[in-house]
Structure 1
């Protein structure tokens, strides 16, 4: 039986086995998927051992996405631009690295009937999560994308790297240009600690959609703040998690699973 896994540290919280087991059942694919706790200093050896023992593909989560990028023999364009890998494919002795996070984000927004075309978008953060989202966002042809980060130079550097793909700018959190942002995405690490980026409430209007890449049982700190600030809608990253997983599954098996039932089951699973 083909083996798949998610590698991370910590990993017990991962919902990937739940998601991919549902995908396999739905599509009639015979496979086994597990979560593997990976030593902080033994990632490369652990993955190579897995691929040497019937492993066909893997998801990579914190803190190993950069190491997965370095391990891959081949990189997709998305992975090259993101500078990190969340999906590995093993084929005839070679490891291919891809990044499906940005695709997952855009598909989740589409699921919620949110179009990015000709819209002004604000992206908070300049780390791996933000990097993975930029190209898929720009491919939707927004009017503009502004990247805001606590360290302004990181956001400015990202803007320069993606300048050929669309109208993108960058700067510090305290210097965000006033605009009628249709979508504000929190890709910063603040959400992992239950905090939120410190941005002016004036950036929110009654048409704004606020999206937090993290998720939990209840509303995230960023989304609670957005709701109190008058945002029209607040969305969390659960759908993004399912959609990026669906793209990984497609890359491995050549079959695109249906995601709505998995979204609903996962949301219910969080409260059990």
Structure 2
């Protein structure tokens, strides 16, 4: 019998997840199907309930439903720590005994890509996260577990940066870590330098340059844009200033691999899948 999985979002036609999970299933010999499902903006819960009734074993969740996914699991099962810390879920597991289990694999995917694929050691580094939306919240706990010396969260408005930094401080305290966590406005970054800069904003979608100084890129800096498939203004600025640059394709594949493991109990080899998706994007 073939086990059924899907990614749910709105829009969803652009999703690479069906390609990725089909490759994982073939590689590991898993009997499963995986499809992309468009849910109405006001119909997330009804769509999920219908899929559960039709025997689906789990879902990936993408924009704009990650917050709703967490609420749904809270009401119908349980929320694992990564999802709880992020305040959002990108992976749902349908369990006969526990009900709906919410998890979040975004941050683990990011850290795995940076440390395993790019071979960049986050330990004792100065980290800057640009943006304080759901994408930023999803990566905070795994970043803390990677043990940098400091994490600064910067945003256009200080209030949102402060809110995210407060969540970060809670994670730091819970982990008994000595990581320094600070909020900043973009304009307040002048005079500071960072070893790892992660752009979690959607500015690249509109080719918008962020109001950040050229001086923030320290020698040997890795500039990582969570967008993939295009050269963003952030990436171009980082290149001009001598930084190593990476896009978010590796994160996409690595977070999918973590979800695959949660569902199937098997860790797929991500490199050949990454190479395949990269080649298709050319």
Q: TM-score, normalised by structure 1?
A: 0.96
State yes or no: 1:182 paired with 2:202: no
| Correspondence for 1:200 | 213
CA contact (8 A) 1:84 1:99 kept: yes
| Correspondence for 2:223 | 210
Q: Could you tell me how far 1:156 is from its partner in structure 2?
A: 1.2
Q: Could you tell me how far 1:219 is from its partner in structure 2?
A: 2.0
Gap runs ≥5 in structure 1: none
| Correspondence for 2:251 | 240
| Correspondence for 1:170 | 183
Q: TM-score, normalised by structure 2?
A: 0.92
State yes or no: 1:43 paired with 2:44: yes
CA contact (8 A) 1:153 1:171 kept: no
Alignment of 1:1-272 (within 5 A): 1-72=2-73, 73-92=77-96, 94-110=99-115, 111-164=117-170, 165=172, 166-176=179-189, 178-216=191-229, 218-231=230-243, 233-271=244-282
CA distance in 1 between counterparts of 2:40 and 2:155 reads 30
Q: Could you tell me how far 1:159 is from its partner in structure 2?
A: 1.5
Q: Secondary structure at the match of 1:195?
A: coil
Q: Secondary structure at the match of 1:205?
A: strand
CA contact (8 A) 2:226 2:251 kept: yes
Q: Could you tell me how far 1:177 is from its partner in structure 2?
A: 6.0
CA contact (8 A) 1:107 1:240 kept: yes
Kindly tell me the number of residue pairs found equivalent between the two proteins. 269
- Give the superposed CA RMSD: 1.2
CA contact (8 A) 2:192 2:215 kept: no
Q: Could you tell me how far 1:191 is from its partner in structure 2?
A: 2.2
Q: Could you tell me how far 1:14 is from its partner in structure 2?
A: 0.2
Q: Secondary structure at the match of 1:208?
A: strand
CA distance in 2 between counterparts of 1:27 and 1:16 reads 16
Q: Secondary structure at the match of 2:152?
A: strand
Gap runs ≥5 in structure 2: 173-178
Q: Could you tell me how far 1:180 is from its partner in structure 2?
A: 3.1
CA distance in 2 between counterparts of 1:57 and 1:46 reads 13
Q: Could you tell me how far 1:71 is from its partner in structure 2?
A: 0.5
